[in-house]
Structure 1
Amino acid sequence: MRIVKKVAAIAVSLAALTSLSGCVSLFGLFGSKTPHECMTRVMYFESNRSSPDGMLAVGTVVMNRVNSHQFPSDVCGVVGQKNQFADGVLSRQMTEQRSLNLAAQMATRVLRGERHPGVQDAMYFHTAGLSFPYRNMHYVLVAGGNAFYARR
């Protein structure tokens, strides 16, 4: 009986920890999201919903971050970081079916290794047309309504 209680306590602790980052929990339990769902969601909410080019660029930034020691090492951890992507990116409802289908297709391509060549090593983007006074923003691409840049 004590072992069952300890296992249950560990499961609850794991659920709480993984829900904070939006990561996949042990064996997909507790309603957590898969890397594909997290990638689909960030592409859907962060790019022009009809732009495969913009979605691919957003996905490339996410994967650049996954591969950097400065960010979490998994897709859902990167997408779930506070103040990095659109509010509610992991929880809001996706209502445009055509855009959702396109985002899911593009997420599959990115998770299989495809990258936007124009993004290069950029790990940041903001809405195209905005300007900031910082001199360390090296712009590499505008796609899907976003301007992509690396910090130098």
Structure 2
Amino acid sequence: MKKRALSALLCLALCFALAGQAAAAEGGVSFTVNGTPLAEDVRSYAEDGTTYVSYGAILFALYPDATAVWANGRAEVAAEGLTMYLKPGAKYIEANGRCLYVPGGVRSEDGVILVPVRTLCQALGAEAVWDSATNTVNITAASGPIVSGDSYYDAEDLDLLSRLIYAESGNQPLEGKIAVGNVVLNRVASPLFPNTVADVIYQPNQFAPAGSGHLSRTPNAESVVAAKLCLDGANTAGNALYFVNPVTSPGSWASRNRPYVATIGAHAFYA
């Protein structure tokens, strides 16, 4: 589990480092795919350190035989080895059963869907390099689309993490669900706690649902999405190892003894 979580974080960090994005946005960004400049203009802009790009031109340059249709309120993409869904307003892209975090949400402007370049590259199995001298994003095909969720996620970890997230934060916003999952995975990675998802969750006197039978409840869809996002490296809780509801647990041990990290929804998180 440690290696898998670390791999996800490294993938996000290495997939695309877009230095100087604000300056690039002012001067206009160009794109190449496998060394060939894209013939058509690609809509893009930088916001809070993230470059959004219209996905279509890059998709079809990498996968000429791809299809993209609008159905069920989202763009549904199919290509060899790839199934991808992009829903405006959603805070993630779904690709081959994986969920990739988009904190600012998938955008739609004048009927054009825009997503963060590095997230799109991860889904499409591409590598991207920013050339600051020419304001160009150079995108190169790698070994194929993103590995499927069935292969990437440990099924037992995903199921148990989804159930814990649902039991602890099923009524919380997506960011809060992710944060609860982060606490579990942070503990897995910490020498202070057991080193598997199951052992962390079932450690005595840690997570109330583990002892109350509430983990038997089927998680809702967003709790499963949150678990996938966590396993793919999404993090909203930093290095938090504890969380409490300050309304139902005022003066908790964590609030008195551990560094405060953030409050997300109904929960306060501590490292």
Superposition TM-score tier, normalisation by shorter sequence: 0.5 to 0.7
In the other structure, the counterpart of 1:105 is 225
Find the aligned partners of 2:206 and 2:256 in 1 and give their Cα distance. 20
On the 8 A contact 1:123/1:149 being kept in 2, the answer is yes
On the 8 A contact 1:80/1:90 being kept in 2, the answer is no
TM-score (ref. length: structure 1): 0.65
Select the structure that is richer in helix. Answer: 1
**1:87: how far off?**
3.2
The one of 12, 25, 41 equivalent to 2:163 is 41
Give structure 1 stretches of 5+ with no counterpart.
Answer: 1-32
Query: Over alpha carbons, which structure has the higher Rg?
Result: 2
Higher mean C-alpha displacement, 100-109 vs 131-140? 131-140
Higher mean C-alpha displacement, 47-56 vs 81-90? 81-90
The CA RMSD measured in Å over matched residues stands at 2.3
TM-score (ref. length: structure 2): 0.38
The one of 208, 232, 240 equivalent to 1:122 is 240
Secondary structure of the 2:203 match is coil
Find the aligned partners of 2:256 and 2:268 in 1 and give their Cα distance. 15
Find the aligned partners of 1:52 and 1:104 in 2 and give their Cα distance. 10
**1:60: how far off?**
0.8
Query: What CA deviation, in whole Å up to 9, does each residue of 1:22-53 have, x standing for no partner?
Result: xxxxxxxxxxx700011101110111524211
**1:136: how far off?**
2.5
In the other structure, the counterpart of 1:94 is 217
Taking a change above 3 Å as real, the CA distance of residues 114 and 101 of structure 1, as seen in their structure-2 partners, is same
Find the aligned partners of 1:58 and 1:89 in 2 and give their Cα distance. 17
The one of 184, 187, 192 equivalent to 1:65 is 187
On the 8 A contact 2:245/2:267 being kept in 1, the answer is yes
**1:137: how far off?**
2.4
On the 8 A contact 2:172/2:266 being kept in 1, the answer is no
Q: Percent identity?
A: 35
On the 8 A contact 2:158/2:227 being kept in 1, the answer is yes
Q: How many equivalent pairs are there?
A: 113
**1:80: how far off?**
1.3
Whether 1:54 and 2:206 are equivalent positions in the alignment is no
On the 8 A contact 2:161/2:181 being kept in 1, the answer is yes
In the other structure, the counterpart of 1:143 is 264
On the 8 A contact 2:167/2:209 being kept in 1, the answer is no
5 Å-filtered alignment, 1:14-33, equals: none
Find the aligned partners of 1:48 and 1:131 in 2 and give their Cα distance. 24
The amino acid across from 1:142 in the alignment is T
Secondary structure of the 2:220 match is helix
Q: What stretches of structure 1 move > 4 A for 4+ residues in a row?
A: none
Secondary structure of the 1:103 match is helix
**1:125: how far off?**
1.0
Find the aligned partners of 2:212 and 2:198 in 1 and give their Cα distance. 9
On the 8 A contact 1:62/1:75 being kept in 2, the answer is yes
In the other structure, the counterpart of 2:75 is none
The amino acid across from 1:123 in the alignment is L
Q: Larger relative CO (CA 8 A, sep 6+): 1 or 2?
A: 1
**1:128: how far off?**
2.6
Find the aligned partners of 1:120 and 1:100 in 2 and give their Cα distance. 24
